[in-house]
Chain A
Amino acid sequence: MSSEATQLFEKQKKTKNIITYAVIFLIFVVALWLSTKSEGPSKFPKVVTDQFTFTAWVNEGEDFLKKNYRWMTKIIAGYIKEGYYFVEDFLLDSPWLLIAAIIILPCLIAGGLRLGLYSGFVIYFWGATGMWEPSLQTLGLMGLSVLMCVFFGVMLGVFCSQSNRFENFMKPILDTMQVMPAFVYLFPALFFFGIGGAPAILATMIYSMPPIIRLTNTGIRQVSEQTIESATSFGSNRLQLLFKIKIPMALPSIMMGINQVIMMALALVVLACFIGAEGIGGQVWQAIRKLDVGWAMEGGLCILFMAIMLDRFSMSFSKTETPLPQNVQKFYLLPQNWEKYQIARILEKPLSILHFLVSYICIKVTDFISYIFEFLVSIINKNTAKEIGDLISKRYYVIPSFIIFFIISFIDSNMISIGSFPEEWRLSIRQPISTTVDNIAVNPGFIAFTKGLRGFVYLNLLRPLDIFLTFTPYWYTMGVFVAIGYFTVGIRFAFITALLLLFIGACGIWTQAMITLSSVLVSVALCFAIGVPLGIIASYSERFKNIQNVVLDAMQTLPYFCYLIPVLMFFGGGIVSAVLATVIYSIPPIIRLTSLGLTQVSGSYSEVSKSFGGTLLQTLNKVKFPLAVPSLVIGFNQTVIMAFAMQIVTPLIGGKGLGLEVFNGLARSDTGRGLAAGIGIVLLAIIIDRISLAWTKKQRVALGLVKN
């Protein structure tokens, strides 16, 4: 390209940019003018909202279903409930040592000494904080839901992988399942499935099944052509191909799905306390009502530790160990790369001996048992006897574990009753946490700061945006959204956007939707303002990044109930607190993806920039940021979705908008009202998600990262 052409191109681009900005500015000015002209919040024409009685339809439908199909759902619920009560009674009535052994031994076997010790600590923490029963209830509830999720999820995933039509049919359903606020279906579930375990398990399934369906499907579809071809050439039919080749090869992917299911189920099981499911959720909820930060934190930590344990446990199945060279001593507790230090080797020595001893005993015991079985069966059939003997002797960890379980329950039922977790091991961390938070809450300097922040966020961000969005006539806002949809995605999406927004308006929740939108926008703006600098620092300093990652992990696993109280104590109830809680919840992705995007920009680009004499800021501004934009937008995208998801929780501390509408509907057992508002949240999230995704794609194409 000659230099003239480049200049011309640049010029054109510039004028195009100016026009775009001018148009945006014009649209904004018109909106501002319209909003100042209108007298009150813009409302949809009464004719439409009166005709479109979605709420009434839903309620009638619900009544119809309740009258005619409740017997059916009750039977299903009965089965689930029985299963759950069985597990719950077993967990709660068994001696605590048995439960501890049932949890610790598998961790020890699957994850080695480190995970074993960690699970021991987790068990101790549950008992010591007095959360023994709730923790086990949560664990039981979650275990059962995960089991059912895996069963149905893998089945549906296999179906999806076999039929394109079925896959296309499932896709939108899976999307809705993931974005729909759980509160919306939690309460109708109550009336069909009763309270407690059954509806909680079903709601958890709805929420956490999508990943395993998706991952099973992609895992099976990713099995390479060659493998399939060679299998078919050996004459396997379709079913054989599926069960002998495809599913086993998709196992790692399925395992990842299980891992995600566990994490998501844990998040929902906490929420399920609202429909009477017992467990830690109920504890945290009670703690919130009493403003007891320490109590809530204890509950939160119980969940957090449980999540880490289950995560590592399920991960350990998909991890394969690399064999160490002969002359290297295997480390069981310390990091393997410390092997070069003499002291570490000495410290590890007893562990090696212990490991050797334990496995020696286990193998001997198992051999003995296998010998007995072999002998017993050989009276009937010699061949089967050999097989059984082999099978038992191979499981030289599982069999001794069962023996330990037996011994414990035998001792408990026949000699000394072990009972529940010993009271004298109690160790409460409630008081210190509460005192710390109280001290911060009365600190005048800090309160002045929070008051200032509250005032700033409310006066300068929330209120103007609230008024602007609610006062701007609905047809104008809709028009702007449709136009954005048209220019970023296309005519079809513009049409869909119009329909979705019409639905929101016709349900009579336009004002609330705009309030929600403004809360989300302010939260996301704050996330950006705080998250991007943190991400930049993290991209430069490895140590900062490591610390930050731990904090972010904790933030994402801790039930969001836990940090509601400190926010309340520091900022008081209200919309500002709601926004701040949303920021805390939804900031992790933007921090992570900023730092990821910036570190991913390959070194050579910044080298080139540096060699041309670019300063640090210039490099960041002109080279790194533009290249990191796609990653940033994904972060933005996730943050927006999470902010929308949080809208359903913020009414607990004074949030307004659609979330409150959902609560109001539920409190009056008006499912239609709650559902309409819930769908409203989903639709807004979908619109913004699609637009930002399409925009990223355009950016990527423009940067030449992806071909159009």
Chain B
Amino acid sequence: MKISKKISALLLSLVLLVGSLGQANAKRLHAAIADWTGGIITCEVAVAILEDELGYKVKQTVFPSGTGLWEAIAAGELDFACESWPSYAEADDVMFNEDLIYDGKVVKSYKGDGTVDLLGTTGIIGMSDYWIPRYAAEELGIKTWRDLNKHKAKFATIETGGKGRLIGCPVAGWNCHDQKRLDLLGIDFQADELGTEAAAIAEAKAAYMRKEPFLLYLWSPHWFFGEFDMVGVQLPEYKTCEGDTFTEANNWKTCGTKGWPATGWDKDYTMNYGNPATFADPKHAKAKAFFEKMKLSNQDQANMLVQVDIKKRDVKEVVAEWKANNPDKWKSWLE
């Protein structure tokens, strides 16, 4: 009995060896796959260039965004992640210690502890707002957020009672503070956090098809705008208060912070970020240089979003197609 077991074990390990011999010894990086399609596309563009042009083998892991992701990168579990939106991240102020540069200009300086490396901008400039469908805006005459309260009954559902309903920022980890924002702006709506982008979009899509009025939190670029005609309610422009130290006493009403959003969102210069130790390694110098130059445009991402989310095509396929058709765009990132 024992000998036969040993023999089988020996045979099995031989088979295993034969199988694993075929593996090539490529340079490896480990990336996170983002929560939303825009982020996935940006990352896929970076991965395609790393793999095809710089000879990497990139392992990709689905990982929900949020502080957990930042900690995983700081701990070296993952090498990099793509397209962080500064308005939504809470960890960036704590963990970056670098300037964010866009078009040669310093957009923001971070003064954190440097446990996470700012790899550079992605090129995507994100905008977030609350949106209503055009038919509702025209029918009800809503031009800005100030008109919302007059028509709140039209936006109410059985769940919200007298208040209007905002299909809010879906994921808890994104730190949107929708309800706080509504309260601070005096909009008598209730923000419903539906848990996933899918839940929010499913609801909005169904409402649009039925031509009902609804108020939706959404960011652009997003495929939703390609398929449905939406109008932003133009929240007051983002303004930071001096000193950034909020207390209940100095109740700011016209300026705010991330955690005290009395205005709309800031323009989001999105960025890629990675583990400092990985990118300090000279063997990844080329990858680091690429990340510093990468600059995908909003329009390119929006086009790919439509292909992926509406035409239901494979992300890798769409990105490969974009890469084949636009060599002039990405070749400049590698110079």
- Interface residues of chain A, those whose CB is within 8 Å of chain B, are 86, 89-90, 93-94, 98, 187, 190-191, 194-196, 273-276, 278, 282, 285-286, 288-292, 384, 387-388, 391-392, 395, 398, 402, 405-406, 409-410, 412-413, 430, 434, 441-442, 447, 454-455, 458-459, 463, 565, 568-569, 572-577, 650-655, 660, 663-664, 666-669
Contacts and interface: CB of A to CB of B under 8 A. Distances in A.
A290 B222 CA distance: 12
Given A194-B72, A402-B8, A568-B199, 13 more contacts: A94-B20, A276-B61, A290-B37, A391-B3, A398-B8, A455-B158, A565-B198, A569-B206, A574-B194, A574-B203, A577-B199, A664-B172, A666-B66
Interface string B183-218: 000000000111111111111001001100000000
A392 B7 CA distance: 9
B159 A574 contact: yes
Contacts of A412: 22
Contact of B72 (A98, A276, A667, A668): A276
Contact of B77 (A195, A458, A459, A663): A195
B15 A276 contact: no
Nearest to B196: A652
Contacts of B192: 573-574, 654
A298 to B, nearest CB: 13
Contact of A663 (B3, B23, B159, B172): B172
Given A195-B61, A388-B3, A409 B19 contact: yes
A289 B62 CA distance: 12
Interface in B1-32: 1, 3-4, 7-8, 11-12, 15-16, 18-23, 32
A568 B196 CA distance: 11
B67 A291 contact: no
Nearest to A289: B198
B216 to A, nearest CB: 12
Contacts of B173: 663, 666-668
Contacts of B4: 388, 391-392, 395
Contacts of B172: 651, 660, 663-664, 667-668
Nearest to A662: B172
- 4 pairs of A and B residues whose beta carbons are closest in the complex: A667-B173, A573-B199, A573-B194, A282-B62
Contacts, number: 176
Interface residues of B, number: 58
A308 B209 CA distance: 40
B15 A405 contact: yes
B72 A195 contact: yes
Interface of B: 1, 3-4, 7-8, 11-12, 15-16, 18-23, 32-33, 35-37, 61-64, 66-68, 71-72, 75, 77-78, 90, 158-159, 167, 171-175, 192-203, 206, 209-210, 309, 312
A291 B201 contact: yes
Nearest to A668: B67
A704 to B, nearest CB: 49
Contacts of B159: 458, 463, 574-576
A173 B201 CA distance: 42
B198 A568 contact: yes
B198 to A, nearest CB: 5
Contact of B20 (A93, A405, A650): A93
A572 B198 contact: no
A267 B32 CA distance: 23
Contacts of B23: 89, 93
B126 to A, nearest CB: 18
Nearest to A654: B194
Nearest to A191: B71
Contacts of A660: 172, 193, 195
Contact of A568 (B11, B78, B158, B202): B202
Given A291-B201, A575-B159, A402 B206 contact: no
B273 to A, nearest CB: 16
A195 B30 CA distance: 11
Contact of A285 (B11, B22, B62, B203): B62
Which of A93, A191, A458, A573 has the most CB atoms of chain B within a 10 A radius of its CB? A573
Contacts of A576: 159
B120 to A, nearest CB: 24
